Homo-oligomer: A and B are copies of this chain.
């Protein structure tokens, strides 16, 4: 194989697999409540999604009233329960809105409703948004974090911790140079593929396990969707909770960031999106990504 067969994007270090091994994501336009019915039971290894938050993204999604949020969500959670394998995981990226100076409670109620339906609330990861929205208010600072709720069907589930290990050597070197601890995540994202190529860089170095706090900047480049999350967020969980060839589902896929991440990591993926106008954008991104 010539050295040019695998191209490497600058800075990010994302491996682009050769065309023969490319796994194309599937995109279904429509309400995921109906779309999920088409999937066989226990066929998905990981559900990673960021649903519309209550009354957020109003201009594009109409906005779900906070009081109706749990009632709106739970039928969809039931379908997710059906399609998820017993060994699978459901990662839900969500944050409550502040209204009238107070935090709303629909996320707390959602966790409780999920447990009543048999989901195990296994973990709560924190996404620390390094470059959060600016702003100033008399009784509030800028909001720099979101929840990543981890639900499972069973107490033991597929988790491949070695896939997200961090090169401890680099981290220590950086600390000596007085760089912030968050730089270790940047190192991590530089060796994003995590499989094959970049792992060799770590030979002879000590590796450390990460914690349940993820330091990731919000995306600055993507102008096409009102609420994208950075690629490294789904990538981290896909590497941690699935193997190559496994299936990833994003029932609220938006501009398709989860699908791109799955494609990069050679996982099967299915995305669902209710707004038809996103379809072309998603397909374009997939096409440009895989080559």
CA separation between A197 and B141, bound complex, in Å?
A: 18
- Dominant SS among interface residues on chain A: loop
In chain A, positions 123-175 with a C-beta closer than 8 Å to chain B are 123-124, 126, 128, 130, 132-134, 136, 138-145, 155-157, 159, 161
Whether A67 sits at the interface, judged by CB under 8 Å, is: no
Whether A112 sits at the interface, judged by CB under 8 Å, is: yes
Q: Which of A136, A156, A212 has the most CB of B within 10 A?
A: A212
- Complex partner residue of A192 from B59, B101, B102, B145, CB under 8 angstroms: B59
Chain B residue numbers with a CB within 8 Å of A128 are 126, 128, 213
- Binary interface encoding of chain A residues 44-64 relative to chain B, with 1 for a CB under 8 A from any of its CBs, else 0: 000000000000000100000
Q: Evaluate whether A144 and B213 lie within 8 angstroms (CB atoms) in the complex, with A108-B108, A139-B122 already known.
A: yes
CA separation between A192 and B59, bound complex, in Å?
A: 9
Chain B residue numbers with a CB within 8 Å of A145 are 126, 212-213
Is the pair B102, A155 in contact by a Cβ cutoff of 8 Å?
Answer: yes
Whether A209 sits at the interface, judged by CB under 8 Å, is: yes
- Binary interface encoding of chain A residues 170-191 relative to chain B, with 1 for a CB under 8 A from any of its CBs, else 0: 0000000000010000000011
Whether A231 sits at the interface, judged by CB under 8 Å, is: no
Whether A289 sits at the interface, judged by CB under 8 Å, is: no
Chain B residue numbers with a CB within 8 Å of A191 are 223, 226
Chain B residue numbers with a CB within 8 Å of A123 are 103, 140
Is the pair A211, B142 in contact by a Cβ cutoff of 8 Å?
Answer: yes
- Complex partner residue of A134 from B144, B197, B213, CB under 8 angstroms: B197
Chain B residue numbers with a CB within 8 Å of A144 are 211-213
CA separation between A190 and B220, bound complex, in Å?
A: 12
Q: Which of A159, A192, A211, A212 has the most CB of B within 10 A?
A: A211
Chain B residue numbers with a CB within 8 Å of A159 are 138-139
Whether A274 sits at the interface, judged by CB under 8 Å, is: no
Whether A69 sits at the interface, judged by CB under 8 Å, is: no
- Complex partner residue of A155 from B59, B101, B181, B190, CB under 8 angstroms: B101
Distance between A240 CB and nearest chain B CB, rounded to angstroms: 9
Whether A26 sits at the interface, judged by CB under 8 Å, is: no
Is the pair A223, B192 in contact by a Cβ cutoff of 8 Å?
Answer: no
Residues of A within 8 A of B (CB): 59, 100-103, 105, 108, 111-112, 115, 120-124, 126, 128, 130, 132-134, 136, 138-145, 155-157, 159, 161, 181, 190-193, 195, 197, 209-213, 215, 223, 226
What are some 28 contacts across the A-B interface (CB < 8 A)? A100-B155, A101-B156, A102-B120, A102-B121, A102-B122, A102-B155, A103-B122, A103-B123, A105-B111, A105-B115, A108-B108, A108-B111, A122-B140, A123-B140, A126-B128, A126-B213, A130-B181, A132-B211, A134-B197, A138-B156, A141-B211, A142-B211, A142-B212, A143-B211, A145-B213, A181-B215, A191-B223, A191-B226
